[in-house]
Amino acid sequence: MVKLTLFLFKGFVLILSLKILHVGTVDGCNDSKTTVKVVATCPQTQNEWTERSRNKNCESYNHSCTSFEYHCVMNTWGNETVEVCAPRLKIIGSVCPEYNFGGSRIQRNGNMVCSSCNSTYDSTKSFMYPECYAYKGKSSPIQTTIPPNLPSTTHNISFISDIMEEISNESQHKKHDSDNGVTIIIVTCSMCGVLVVILTLALTRKKLMNPIFAKLKEFILKDQDSLHELEGEHIYLNTKESTATHGN
């Protein structure tokens, strides 16, 4: 029972460690912000990608991220393409990648469906899917009727719209992190509960078995004493009978 408890405890520690590791890797890479550059187009062949990656020279930047690789993707609002050095990501679900400024990370954009994309591909291979860059400019900012003497208002409204969308994306990211935290708590409590139940059963079983073993031991000892008495009496009778025989 003790060995089983230790085995389950080790499994619990392993699961918890993996979960914590997962939560730690969903955070963004703040160092990527300093490498962002708006570009007119992104490379669409392997040769172009290699050349642009060499020019960007992500290896020359100091960073504390898990990796730092060249990307050329859409921004969150779909109105610009940007070059950036950031950790690579597996894009899942036949959608396009984007760079999220608020989260400082490459992520999938569920609104940019890509019929030519593989169901799973590496974010550094986005040059293979020109369809993703066709979304550029299709995202329309909020427009309104503006008097001639207020030419900058449209830009301000568009900017506010962009900020609100960025906040929304960041809120979703934080919600995802929060969900992971809740999952860790649930897993921890569940495993602790299981361990408590197992230990309780082990202790209860020990308490129940101890009196039984004590009674059994007492019974065996009594039987042994009785057996010894019978053996002694048998020896005495045999000796007495032998003496009587010799006397006659």
Point out the least confidently predicted range of 16-20, 97-101, 151-155.
Answer: 151-155
Q: Is residue 65 part of a domain?
A: yes
Q: Is residue 88 part of a domain?
A: yes
Listed in sequence order, the residues at least 6 apart from 67 whose beta carbon sits closer than 8 Å to its beta carbon are 87, 88
Q: What range defines the domain where residue 117 resides?
A: 2-188
Q: What percent of the chain has pLDDT over 70?
A: 56
Segment of 47-61, 184-198, 211-225 carrying the highest mean pLDDT: 47-61
- Model confidence at 62, pLDDT cuts 50, 70, 90, reads very high
Mean of pLDDT over the chain: 75
Q: Is residue 117 part of a domain?
A: yes
pLDDT above 80 for 42 = yes
| The predicted structure's pLDDT at residue 136 | 84
Element (H, E) at 217: helix 153-247
Q: Is residue 194 part of a domain?
A: no
Q: Is residue 211 part of a domain?
A: no
Q: Structural domain tally of the chain?
A: 1
Q: Is the CB of residue 136 less than 8 Å from the CB of residue 79?
A: yes
| The predicted structure's pLDDT at residue 22 | 42
Q: Is residue 201 part of a domain?
A: no
Residue 200 phi, psi (nearest 5):
-60, -45
* Span 14-42, average pLDDT: 71
Compare 178 and 53 and report the one with higher pLDDT.
53
Q: What share of the chain is helix, strand, coil (3-state, %, to 5)?
A: 60, 15, 25
| The predicted structure's pLDDT at residue 149 | 39
Does this model's pTM top 0.85? My answer is no
Q: Is residue 210 part of a domain?
A: no
Under the phi-then-psi rule, with left for phi > 0, alpha for psi from -120 to 50, and beta for the rest, what region is 86?
Answer: beta
CB atoms within 10 A of CB 91: 27
Q: Is residue 213 part of a domain?
A: no
- Model confidence at 25, pLDDT cuts 50, 70, 90, reads very low
| The predicted structure's pLDDT at residue 190 | 76
| The predicted structure's pLDDT at residue 68 | 96
Residues 127-155: pLDDT tens digits?
999 999 998 876 544 333 333 333 334 44
